[in-house]
Amino acid sequence: MAHYAIGDVHGCCGALQKLLRRIHFHPARDRLWFTGDLVNRGPRSADTVRLVMDLGDAADCVLGNHDFHLLAVTEGAISRQPLDTFDDILSAADGDAITDWLRRRPLAVTNAAADTILVHAGVHRDWSAADVMRHALEVETALRGGGFQALMHNLYGNDPVQWRENLSGFARLRLIINILTRMRYCTADGAMDFTCKAAPGNGDLGVRNGGGDSGNGDGTPGNGGTDNETGGLVPWFRTPGRRTRDRRVVFGHWASLGLYRGDNVLGIDTGYCWDGALTAVRLDAPGEVVQVEA
């Protein structure tokens, strides 16, 4: 048995098939975790979802922001955007089966040992591992219930940006969804920022170095020395006092971050659909990284 995590596929089904051959994946023996965003941007969203659906219990896949976007489009909550490339799902005979399957995906997955957590984007500083699963379940329950359509109509928006346990209603669900599927940069106390476009890895945060040289190591904003670029923001996994720092958090979503291993997290969206690579990382044996280049 081998357990691999695979980054954002974004409709690049051919690359996924190639990657599965390269890791000698066998569904009866091996296990896959997908970081979500199976759809959009690439050419074959429908085939990608069908492939993962057919893997059954051999694969877990969390929802990403593009998967949510597709669900919102199919519910008429937002119109299809010019850059969207999931028309193959919208027009497919099995399109409803595909979107219904996506709607029933989780937002967070953990393993039996509970030492590793899979999400699309990130987790809040103040959430324990149990909190991550509990808040993901709140959204999963809403997605599967009669309030699904209303949730899709209340999905979009950046507010609120900071977690409070006493939030309720759609503001609470939207914030949980934004944390788990859209978050990149935060203030030191974990409030999300969606405006910072500075790509890490230009020396601004030193994150490509794996976190071993992060200044004073406490994640103090700006200790990389480029407040002018990041406005004193830090990647979510560097927020001081993050309660999941004793668990391995596997995530995608951040293609400009690239393959990232440090801070006890594993970022594996390497941007195949942006001329990067599709990445698989073995979780049950250290170190093995397999990539298909675009």
The reply to whether 37 sits near Mn ion by the rule CB under 5 A is yes
Tell which one of 64, 122, 206, 258 touches Mn ion (CB under 5 A).
Answer: 64
Q: Least separation, in Å, of the C-beta of 120 and Mn ion? A: 6
Which CB, 226 or 256, lies closer to Mn ion?
A: 256
The reply to whether 85 sits near Mn ion by the rule CB under 5 A is no
The reply to whether 270 sits near Mn ion by the rule CB under 5 A is no
Which CB, 129 or 180, lies closer to Mn ion?
A: 180
The reply to whether 65 sits near Mn ion by the rule CB under 5 A is yes
DSSP string across the chain: --EEEE---TT-HHHHHHHHHHTT--TTT-EEEE-S--SSSSS-HHHHHHHHHHTGGGEEE---HHHHHHHHHHTTSSPPPTT---HHHHT-TTHHHHHHHHHT--S-EE-TTS-EEE-SS---TT--HHHHHHHHHHHHHHHHSTTHHHHHHT-------S--TT--HHHHHHHHHHHHHT--EE-TT--EES---PPTTSSSS-GGGTTTT-TTSS--TTTTS-HHHHTT-EEGGGSTT-TTTTSEEEE---TTT-SEEETTEEE---BGGGTSEEEEEESSSTT-EEEEE-
The reply to whether 67 sits near Mn ion by the rule CB under 5 A is no
For Mn ion (CB under 5 A), the number of binding residues is 4
Q: Least separation, in Å, of the C-beta of 37 and Mn ion? A: 4
**Residues in 195-224 at the binding interface with Mn ion, rule: CB under 5 A:** none
- Choose the stretch contacting Mn ion; rule: CB under 5 A; options: 74-82, 105-113, 227-235, 246-254: 246-254
- Choose the stretch contacting Mn ion; rule: CB under 5 A; options: 57-65, 82-90, 187-195, 278-286: 57-65
CB 2 within 8 A of CB 32: no
Tell which one of 103, 253, 260, 270 touches Mn ion (CB under 5 A).
Answer: 253
Q: Least separation, in Å, of the C-beta of 64 and Mn ion? A: 4
The reply to whether 178 sits near Mn ion by the rule CB under 5 A is no
Distance CA 41, CA 86 (A): 8
- Choose the stretch contacting Mn ion; rule: CB under 5 A; options: 65-73, 78-86, 164-172, 216-224: 65-73
Q: Least separation, in Å, of the C-beta of 78 and Mn ion? A: 16
The reply to whether 135 sits near Mn ion by the rule CB under 5 A is no
- What is the binding site for Mn ion (CB under 5 A)? 37, 64-65, 253
